[in-house]
């Protein structure tokens, strides 16, 4: 049955969903990966695609920006459409000096702002962690590539007006990058007994001055991250 934000039927989604933030990117990924893709939902212009990659079913749907928006789609996918795993494929702002623009972060955990996970265990700080088997599958697919790191990120509810000392503190404890979705994704996977991972390209750097990527570098790096995400999704 359709939900408030997904006008598909049960069975329209594959067990594995790749989830970029940007709906246009979802469309390009579907064109690139799945010549047989069909549109299964289009509420609010957020199209969802289902097809096959190497004979295995896969769906692709954007999360939009931010934990609350991702939380709506992921909750409906997990509870109403039998989705078993969601792999976010997106970008993050670099925080740790150990990562540089163009690196790919396999986010094994996410520190987070916001209320989405805070009620999961009363009186206790919840650990938002990725599914180990998906981390392993993505890492194996990287085949030792030196620009791929496994590290935690920080998931925020704000893009602007972050005090610099917050970034410095996060970097000091080894946080690879800042983004806005993984924390809620990991918490919701835990809540519903499902699997989740985020694979993130470092698109800019917040603590180290560096050159922006060219359009070509951006595309090459994205393809690298996508390869890891697809490998995890189909593992």
- Rounded to a whole number of angstroms, the minimum distance from the CB of residue 94 to ligand HPA is 8
Q: Which stretch binds ligand HPA (CB under 6 A): 80-88, 89-97, 114-122, 142-150?
A: 89-97
Among 92, 130, 196, 225, binds ligand HPA (CB under 6 A): 92
Task: Please confirm, yes or no, whether 12 is among the known catalytic residues.
Answer: no
Measured CA to CA, the distance from residue 88 to residue 163 in angstroms comes to 26
Task: Give CA–CA dist 231/172, Å, rounded.
Answer: 31
Distance from C-alpha of 21 to C-alpha of 14, rounded to nearest angstrom = 19
Among 27, 80, 157, 204, binds ligand HPA (CB under 6 A): 204
Distances (CA, A) of 130 to 34, 88, 102, 135, 216: 26, 11, 22, 7, 30
Number of residues that bind ligand HPA (CB under 6 A): 9
Pick the stretch among 33-41, 72-80, 85-93, 123-131 that binds ligand HPA (CB under 6 A): 85-93
Rounded to whole angstroms, the Cα distance separating 14 from 81 reads 9
Tokens 């750097």 identify what position?
Answer: 205
Place of tokens 């990287």: 142
Binder among 23, 64, 93, 187 for ligand HPA (CB under 6 A): 93
Chosen residue from 203, 221, 230, 232 binding ligand HPA by CB under 6 A: 203
Q: Which is nearer to ligand HPA, 16 or 229 (CB)?
A: 229
């Amino acid at each position: 049955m359709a939900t408030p934000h997904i006008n598909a039927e049960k069975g329209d989604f594959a067990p594995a969903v790749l989830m970029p933030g940007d709906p246009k990117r979802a469309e390009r990924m579907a064109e690139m990966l799945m010549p047989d893709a069909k549109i299964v939902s289009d509420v609010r212009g957020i199209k969802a695609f289902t097809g096959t990659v190497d004979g295995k079913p896969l769906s692709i749907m954007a999360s939009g920006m931010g934990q609350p928006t991702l939380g709506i789609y992921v909750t409906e996918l997990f509870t109403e459409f039998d989705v078993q795993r969601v792999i976010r494929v997106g970008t993050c702002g670099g925080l740790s000096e150990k990562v540089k623009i163009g690196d790919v972060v396999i986010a094994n955990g996410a520190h987070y702002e916001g209320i989405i996970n805070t009620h999961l265990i009363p009186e206790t700080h919840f650990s938002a962690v990725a599914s180990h088997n998906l981390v392993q599958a993505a890492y194996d697919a990287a085949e030792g590539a030196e620009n791929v790191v496994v590290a935690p990120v920080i998931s925020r509810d704000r893009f602007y007006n972050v005090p610099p000392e917050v970034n410095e503190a996060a970097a000091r404890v080894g946080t690879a990058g800042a983004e806005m979705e993984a924390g809620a994704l990991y918490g919701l996977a835990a809540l519903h007994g499902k699997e989740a991972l985020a694979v993130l390209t470092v698109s800019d750097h917040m603590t180290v001055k560096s050159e922006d990527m060219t359009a070509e570098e951006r595309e090459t790096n994205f393809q690298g991250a996508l390869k890891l995400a697809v490998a995890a999704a189909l593992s």
